[in-house]
Amino acid sequence: MLYLDQPVQVGLSYDTLHHITNNLYTGEIEMLDDSDHVPEQNATFLVGTYPSGDSNKTSLGTENAAIALWHFAQSWFQEFPQYHPNDGRISLATESYGGRYGPGFVSFFERQNMRIENGSFTDDDGEMYILNLDTLMIINGCIDRPTQWPSYPQIAFNNTYGIEAVNASIHEAMLHDLNKPGGCLDKIADCRALVPEYDPENIGINATVNQICSDAETYCTEHVRDPYLLYSGRNYYDMATLDPDPFPAPFYEGFLNQEHVQVALGVPLNWTQSSEAVSDAFRGIGDYVRPGWLEDLAYLLDNGIKVTLAYGDRDFACNWIGGEAVSLAINFSSTEDFHSAGYAPIQANSSYQGGLVRQYGNLSFSRVFEAGHEIPSYQPETAYRIFTRALFNKDIATGEESTYSNGAAYKSSGLADTWSVKNEQPAQPLQFCYTLDSATCTEDQLESVLNGTAVIDHYIVVDKNSTQLFPQLLGGRGTSYGNGSSASATPSASVVPATGGSAFLKPSTALLLVAFGTALVTTRS
């Protein structure tokens, strides 16, 4: 499995290296000159090494990112033949914003394959390698905005967990702003009417189109999505829990910024969860609301590439109601057969059913029970079963039937829809504050960190909850007092300086809602 930090400036990828300061409380990142003193650090103010932060030095939207990734794949599979899969198959797994990444990337790859095969593409640099594409897997993906936006008011007010996250008047206001003349859907339609004429390749070449599309996304976000965030008090990625919810645990942020990890990976900078520069580049052209993603999925299916959609049913961000609507909106050669398929239980093991799946041949849509935005964290075995069954051409429900046998496609049978299958609300998890991710902390915890009264150990604020959760790790050993002057018990970490002469020894982490990352999977038979 090959993990890709892309577009450039996300994760551990970079254009140029720069010393920075990062205020974890405000999210403010400032560049430092090489001649600057290393500023004093504390629990919420760190120094490190980052990419440039220049949104003009990354991919401008999904289509440009697809081009960059294709060039990488051409080099990778030709320069490192030892990593070729035995059967040649390549699959792409992604989530969240990957709802656009996945269709955009894989369809671009396949079109390039077609051009190479029919002789319409020639290249002097030797980039003529056919990428044998097999499966696109999308976990809780936001794929097509006009198809999925109507699900936000619905799931906020009426869902299978019996949670009324917003009241009736707020729900009605969300619906009104979605559907009114000049509202969310109309603004998206305005964007999509202009793109085919003025920017048909979706690469952000027309400033007017960029602005109209960007404005549409901003309006929809503020009026259709954000009322949930403003009034519910619930988590964006798991509507069954109250904010702040520290699950999935964010400990990887500290782990990846430890010196021995950085040395082992051979990286000269701090790992960051997401990139404001990349977010600005994508939002600047209105990448979210542009057209083409449903058509890309149809193109893949009609060219024999599997599409596996899986949605945790506790996610609000890219929720399962919208995901199901997307699966039904894909207009491909077997649309009617997919629509008439029933929902079958997903047998994760002999005693547990992890969800329900509708499948016809190469297309499947799974609603995974008791899972938020990151299904593998909540339901690892169910996620693994979906993943492996898709890769090896087995039905998602049981893993026992071939998706194609004797010239016929597999078709699931069962419920016509899953709305009748209800869930119980889970118990609230114990909350704890991880200082590298301020979104895990309450206001009182943040205040104690800022005023120096918090006891911090391994970036965790030591209190009743955290001691109960991590007794072997904490156990009364915390000796760092927030932003005070006492010695820190937090593990040290470092980065290789960007230039000689300055030592920047503490990690920093940028905190944003959208993480950009994909996993490129090669299967070995």
Question: Could you give the residue numbers annotated as active site?
Answer: 96, 315, 373
The residue with tokens 């629990």 is 43
Q: How far apart are CA 328 and CA 306, in angstroms?
A: 16
CA distances from 340 to 20, 360, 400, 405, 408 (A): 55, 9, 21, 19, 15
Contact call for residues 100 and 293 (beta carbons, < 8 A): yes
Helix ranges restricted to H, 364-463: 375-378, 380-391, 443-450
| E strand or H helix at 90 | strand 90-96
Q: Are strands 353-360 and 18-23 parallel, antiparallel or unpaired?
A: unpaired
Q: How far apart are CA 71 and CA 65, in angstroms?
A: 10
DSSP bridge pairs for 188:
none
Burial (CB count within 10 angstroms: exposed 0-12, middle 13-18, buried 19+), residue 230: exposed
Contact call for residues 454 and 460 (beta carbons, < 8 A): no
DSSP bridge pairs for 20:
31, 48
Q: How many other CB atoms are there within 10 angstroms of residue 169's CB atom?
A: 8
Residue among 130, 107, 473 at smallest CA distance from 291 = 107
Q: How far apart are CA 300 and CA 308, in angstroms?
A: 11
- Using DSSP's 3-state secondary structure scheme, residue 239 falls into coil
Contact call for residues 141 and 98 (beta carbons, < 8 A): yes
Q: How far apart are CA 395 and CA 350, in angstroms?
A: 16
Contacts 24+ apart (CB under 8 A), 476-479: 479/455
| E strand or H helix at 451 | none
DSSP symbol at 233:
-
Please give the full DSSP string across 291-321, using - where no structure is assigned.
Answer: S-HHHHHHHHHHTT-EEEEEEETT-STT-HH
Q: How far apart are CA 213 and CA 180, in angstroms?
A: 18
- Number of separate helices (H) and strands (E) present in the chain: 18, 16
Residue 3 dihedral angles phi and psi, to the nearest 5°: -90, 135
Q: How far apart are CA 380 and CA 497, in angstroms?
A: 38
Q: How many other CB atoms are there within 10 angstroms of residue 500's CB atom?
A: 7
Q: Return the structure tokens found at 163.
A: 């949670």
